Amino acid sequence: MGFELAAAFRRCGSAMLGLIVGASLLATDAASADGTPAKELFGAKALPAAMAPSSYGFYAKGCLAGGVAIPTDGPTWQAMRLSRNRRWGHPEMIALIERFSQDAAEKIGWPGLLLGDISQPRGGPMTSGHASHQIGLDADIWLTPMPQRTLSYDERESISATSMLQKNKFLTVDPSIWTPAHAQLIMMAASYPQVERVFVNPAIKKKLCDTWKGNRSALGKVRPIYGHDYHFHIRMKCPEGSVGCKGQARVPAGDGCDKSLAWWFTDAPWAKPKKKPGEKPPKPKFAKLADLPKACAMVLGGPAPTSEQEATYGTAYRAATAVPAAATSIEAVIGAAAAAPLENIPVPLPRPALQ
C-alpha cells in the first residue's frame, strides 16, 4: 500500500472498512466453517491485508491489518530467516525498529541489528515458534551484532545467534560473551516510551539488576522469561488508533529486581508439571478463526497489495508514520561512557536446530 492509498485509508478508513468487512465475511465463511486451525489460514497468506493499519486483539490472540514489511536490508539492520516471511509489523513497529537500529549504531556503536521474527503478513497464530507475535507489535532482535558484510540468503537461513548463557551453569550470563554494549542495547530498547516490555532470559535480567549503573527507570520494563538468551523481544504498546488492540497491564512500578526475578532462580519454574497416574497429556488445542477477534475474518479475507514491494517500509511510509520519539534522553539511560567499540564480535555459528 503506497502513501496515497495509506492516506486515503486514513481519510475514509471507516467507510472503506465497512465495504471490506462485507466482502470479506463472505469470502472467509468457508474457511471459518471447516474448523481449519487459524495458524494454517494465516500462515498461508504471503501478503498483508491492504487496509488501514490496525492491530486487532491481544499479542497472543489476534491479527494485523495494513501490515508492512521491514526491508530485508537497511543501513543498520539485516533481517534473518527470510523464508519464514515474518518481517511484517504495524507500521509504527517498523518505524521503531528502524529508529532503534540507528540510535544503537550512533549512540552505543552497535554495528547493526539482526532481526528475527516480527509477524506474519496478516499477523495471526503461527505454524511454528511463538505464542505471541500475532498483532505486529512484537519483534525479536538477536543478541549477536550484525556482521560488517551483507549476509547471503543461505547464511540468513543457517547461521545461529550466540547464547549469552554459560554452558553447564544454572542461569548464568557468560562473561566472555556478554559486553556492556549488550546491556546498553537492551536498556536502550526499554527506554522508548512506546515500548511496554522487553523480554530477556532471567540470567540477563539478573545481570542488569546487578550491574546497571545508569538510570534504572526503564529497568522495570525488562522482564525475565524462559529462553531469550539468543535474542531479546521487544513488545510495543497498542498504537493510538488501533481501537481493537487489547493492551497489556503496565509493568509494576520499580526496577523488577525483586521477588518476581528471584522466583526464576528457584525450582518452581523448572519443575515438571505434576501428572496423575494414567492421565494422558492434554491434546494441543489450536485456535480457530472464530476464536480470534471478529475483525480477523475481515483481515484474512482483505485485499492484498499488488506486490510485496508496495507494502515494504520506505520513504512514503516514513512520511506517513508517526516518527517514534527518541528514547527519553538516551545518554541519561545508557550512561555517558557510551560508544565503546565492540571488539570481539562473536562469529555466527552453524545453526543447531530450529528455534
Residues 122, 207, 233, 237: which binds Zn ion (CB under 5 A)? Answer: 233
Task: For Zn ion, give the closer residue by CB, 205 or 233.
Answer: 233
Would you state the cell numbers that stand for residue 14, as one nine-digit string? 471507516
Q: How far is the CB of 133 from Zn ion (least distance, A)?
A: 6
Give the number of other CB atoms < 10 A from CB of residue 58. Answer: 18
Binding of Zn ion by 229 (CB under 5 A):
no
Among 103, 140, 196, 229, binds Zn ion (CB under 5 A): 140
The secondary structure element, H or E, covering residue 99 is: helix 91-108
Stretch that binds Zn ion, among 140-148, 166-174, 301-309, 324-332 (CB under 5 A): 140-148
DSSP state of 49: -
CB of 221 to Zn ion, least distance (A): 15
Residues in the chain: 355
Closer residue to Zn ion in complex, CB, 206/233? 233
Q: Which is nearer to Zn ion, 98 or 117 (CB)?
A: 117
**Of 107 and 235, which CB lies nearer to Zn ion in the complex structure?**
235
Closest contact distance (angstroms) between CB of 206 and Zn ion is 20
**Smaller CB separation from Zn ion, 126 or 173:** 126
Nearest residue to Zn ion by CB is 233
Could you tell me where the beta strands, DSSP code E, fall in 59-213? 61-65, 68-69, 73-74, 77-79, 88-89, 113-115, 138-142, 159-160, 195-200
DSSP state of 290: G
Residue with smaller CB distance to Zn ion, 31 or 118:
118
Q: Is 235 in the site for Zn ion (CB under 5 A)?
A: no
* Residue closer to Zn ion, measured from CB, 103 or 140: 140
Rounded to 5 degrees, what are φ and ψ at 4? -65, -40
Q: Which region, judged by CB under 5 A, interacts with Zn ion, from 76-84, 89-97, 232-240, 281-289?
A: 232-240
Q: What are the CB-based long-range contacts (under 8 Å, 24+) for 219-222? A: 219/187, 219/190, 219/255, 219/256, 219/257, 220/251, 220/252, 220/253, 220/254, 220/255, 220/256, 221/190, 221/195, 221/196, 221/197, 221/251, 222/186, 222/187, 222/190, 222/197, 222/198, 222/256
Q: What are phi and psi of 236, to 5 degrees?
A: -90, 155
Closest distance of CB 213 from Zn ion, Å: 28
Which residue lies nearer to Zn ion by CB, 45 or 233?
Answer: 233
Binding window for Zn ion (CB under 5 A); candidates: 92-100, 136-144, 249-257, 276-284: 136-144
Minimum gap (Å) between residue 225 Cβ and Zn ion: 9
Residues in contact with Zn ion by CB under 5 A are 140, 233
